[in-house]
């Protein structure tokens, strides 16, 4: 998909990545900071219930994972670079859990949109497992993308809209600060 940027001069080459990294609040702000990322939407994917609500997803009966739908300009950031961030911003070795959040809705998952994304994710996962980057094996699942349901409006842009809230200060902010140090050369110029 190709479109023009806001000035209309340089064409954008848009693509989509969909990642589950546990609570979408925790990583939405991270992906929003990346140069080349056009939009990040929190939502649900991978389940069997159409148009689920947050409460339904939290009931652990929908099969959906909390995830991020990331639209990016592939001429400015690659899927490989997004995968690199994906592996760094959550623990891919804990089955259906991220920190205190427990349940299949918090699973580590890559919803691949095409065979190229699937192959890259498989390769990266195998290389990381082989490298011993983590003490435990990676349990991230690779699932074929089917449909994405945006979460309710209050979940969107959560950190930026609620940065003074305790959860944002004590859970999200430290993760964001660590990310900004590690990936400072990939951040948007403000």
Average pLDDT, the chain: 91
Rg, Å, the chain Cα set: 16
- Active-site residue among 23, 26, 67, 168? 23
Closest alpha carbon to 21 in 75, 120, 87: 87
pLDDT in tens, 62-87: 999 999 999 999 999 999 999 999 99
Please state the separation of Cα 43 from the chain's center in Å.
10
Tokens for 37, please give them: 């990322």
Residue 2 has pLDDT above 50, yes or no: no
**Per-residue pLDDT averaged across 19-40, rounded?**
94
User: Averaging pLDDT over each range in 16-25, 126-135, 176-185, which range is the top one?
Assistant: 16-25
**Per-residue pLDDT averaged across 171-181, rounded?**
86
pLDDT of 32 reads 95
Contact between 40 and 160 under an 8 Å Cβ cutoff? The reply is no
Residue 190 has pLDDT above 70, yes or no: no
Please state the separation of Cα 169 from the chain's center in Å.
20
Residue 167 has pLDDT above 90, yes or no: no
Based on the residue annotation, tell me whether 168 is a catalytic residue of this protein. Answer: no
- State pTM to two decimals: 0.90
């Amino acid at each position: 998909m190709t479109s023009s940027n806001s000035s209309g001069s340089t064409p954008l080459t848009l693509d989509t990545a969909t990642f589950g990294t546990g609570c979408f609040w925790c990583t939405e702000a991270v992906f929003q900071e990346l140069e080349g990322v056009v939009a990040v939407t929190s939502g649900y994917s991978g389940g069997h219930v159409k148009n689920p609500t947050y409460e339904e997803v939290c009931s652990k009966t929908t099969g959906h994972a909390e995830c991020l739908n990331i639209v990016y300009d592939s001429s400015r950031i690659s899927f490989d670079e997004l995968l690199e961030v994906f592996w760094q911003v959550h623990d891919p070795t804990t089955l259906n859990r991220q920190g205190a959040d427990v349940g299949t809705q918090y699973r580590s998952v890559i919803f691949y949109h095409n065979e190229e994304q699937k192959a890259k994710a498989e390769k990266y996962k195998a290389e990381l497992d082989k490298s011993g980057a983590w003490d435990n094996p990676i349990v991230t699942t690779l699932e074929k993308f089917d449909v994405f349901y945006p979460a309710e409006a209050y979940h969107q842009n959560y950190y930026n809209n609620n940065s003074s809230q305790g959860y944002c200060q004590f859970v999200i902010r430290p993760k964001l600060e660590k990310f900004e140090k590690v990936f400072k050369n990939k951040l948007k110029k403000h």
